[in-house]
Structure 1
Amino acid sequence: MNKNLQVATLGGGCFWCTEAVFQEVKGVEEVVSGYAGGNVPGEPTYREICSGLTGHAEVIQITYDANVISYEDVLVIFMTTHDPTTLNQQGADRGTQYRSVVFYHDENQQKIASEVLKQIQDYYNDKIVTELSALPIFYKATEEHQNYYRENTQQGYCSFVIEPKLAKLRKLHADKLN
């Protein structure tokens, strides 16, 4: 069967968390951690992003096979494995770099994302604050930030922050996992 590769760009707090989630999803070919949405010239560094002054969000860029998983399903997984109701924050991670954001690549993605955000709202008591914006430039993070969970499972952050998100993923979306 021929693959129908598509790309989604999402930010839901620390990119290590969202990367780890989507690396377990059936149909996902690649997950790249990076930055997008800022307003400063040039390629940002991790240190600059952490300052919160660049306007960039930590994001992941997911390449997935649309014959295996739909963009809508990608978004539902994304919206249910982070808290889309907290502005510029995921857990203890605070700042605009940790905002919930869907960067759409075209009008079709924009339409689907808008509909998913409306549908998902019923599952939350608080208002969803996820930003929906056209993708500007995506900057890939350095190699030390790629595959972080897979290469650092013994780290405390992985145990206390990432593993609960993975447990939620496995509970809510078992049918969509590798």
Structure 2
Amino acid sequence: MSTNPERVREMAAYAERLGVPRGSGMYRTALHAVAFLSEEKITNKVDYLKKMFSWSDAEVVMALSKAPMLLKRSKDILRRRFEFLVSEVGLEPAYIAHRPVMLYYSLEDRLMPRCYVLKFLKENGLVDHDLSFSSALSIQEKYFMEKYIRPHNEAAPHLADDYAAACKGEVPASFRFT
């Protein structure tokens, strides 16, 4: 309410340049993302995303239209999460650009523990190899447990304990069957 009307117009223009049209459900979030950022900071972050993540202009627009708050995340946090998703999980940069919300999740509390569980399940033939990592990340903890942990209690009785340990930062050397 107390923002200068010219600044509001600038914010609206930035949001639209990010690929978020007025009237979309993400528009308000995009406005919030650019609210206290200068044009220079926005440009620097967009350039960083293109360079660090090897994203094209179109991929940056797609990612920011789905997850505009990436503009507010620190470069270090984004880099660490992106590097983990590419090097440890094996995701392609374009896959992440289409599902940028993955970069919102905590590396230690969600990305790593769930990655370890999914990797364990795949390596031991307990799940389909075409499993969607982004889907496994996005579901609530309760549903993750129901879908990926509990069905394997018999085959992998330590899976729940190993996952709980990973969520606390105690990365098991390897998840165990017995």
Q: Which structure's residues are more often helix, by fraction? A: 2
Larger radius of gyration: 2
Q: Which structure's residues are more often strand, by fraction? A: 1
Same fold (TM over 0.5): no
Which structure exhibits the higher relative contact order, with contacts defined as CA atoms closer than 8 Å and separated by 6 or more residues?
Answer: 1
Scaled to the shorter chain, the TM-score interval is under 0.3
TM-score between the two structures when normalised by the length of structure 2: 0.25
